[in-house]
A and B are shown apart, each in its own frame.
Chain A
Amino acid sequence: MKIAFALSENHHRSYIDDHFGRCNWYGVYDTDTKKAQYLENPNRYAEEGAGCTSVDYLMEYGIQAIVAGRFGSRVVELLKKKNIQMIIPEGTKTMEEIIKLYKN
């Protein structure tokens, strides 16, 4: 499974960002290969619709779940339609901390 993370910085110790659409980076972690890649968010300065454009962008990487601090209402509707799972951690966590919780 591929999980996307909304991140402030482009490494695995970065905190999960509170804003799915406006974060600086996305981390895409593959739970099979245990490898991550980091993508600069091309929509972070978009006037509007940053969240939905980012969903389309991440879909190209075959993600099945997204971790972020919060999701806008339009994004929630879109992700439900696409059957992509949303994960919201309690408090402030890093990408690494979330990955460590993952079990096959």
Chain B
Amino acid sequence: MQYREPGVLLWRGFTLQEFTNQLFGNKYDYGKGRQMPIHYGSNKLNYVTISSTIATQIPHAVGAAYSLKMDKKNACAVTYFGDGGTSEGDFHAAMNFAAVMEAPVIFICRNNGWAISTPTSEQFRSDGIAVRGPAYGMRSIRVDGNDALAIYSTVHAAREMAINERRPILIETLTYRVGHHSTSDDSTKYRPADEIEHWRKARDPVTRFRKWVKKNGWWNDEDESALRNDVRKKVLNAIQVAEKVEKPPLAELFTDVYDHPSSNLGEQERLLRETVKRHPKDYPIDVPV
């Protein structure tokens, strides 16, 4: 998983409270406050915890898919990455492995034109990503990433293929990153503001989908504002709840390095507790000792 797929989790049933618990790294965060915000993970929802390193998890999806195949599960693995991620060696290794091992995996490349400040023209000279599928002996498809219905049909068909034929497939979704890369980025330093505005206004996938549901008479402005107000309230509430919850206890600093703490960790925990007792002011009060 890369860091731009909270939508997948939301769709699978991760609650707003579960999201905000992770964002605040409180004691209910499944990752026990150890990782930066947005590094979600949910065993229950088959969503492997995100790593910040680009592309490293793509081959994992292939291994997981192979396991699903060997276990004769009616399921496939799916992995998401950006246009930048396709330059890493791990991407190429994963594609080749998937083809050779005939693993039921769906590769979804979110080609949003930019990897931080690097445009795709400085990332690769192939015609995007989809062309690479056939080169590895894998089917691929390019789809308008701002068309929710097109994405839905594509992924639906890809899933059928992956599972029924036990083979990998590559999907390239063409889109644009209208936001800055992260909160510490100012993307107007490297791309024109009107380019961003164009995508935000003229090509916005949410606006487009809204038009479609409205045209069908399934949605109107009142529904829209009611939903927005409701969601805003729920999000704010989830934030308020999460920020008040204390952090995971100090003992969790040492768990999970191995299945059982090794002796060196036991010793370090003992020494650390003595230090905390001697210098309580050095340590945050919201971490129970």
A, B assembled together: no
Report which B residues bind A (CB closer than 8 A): none
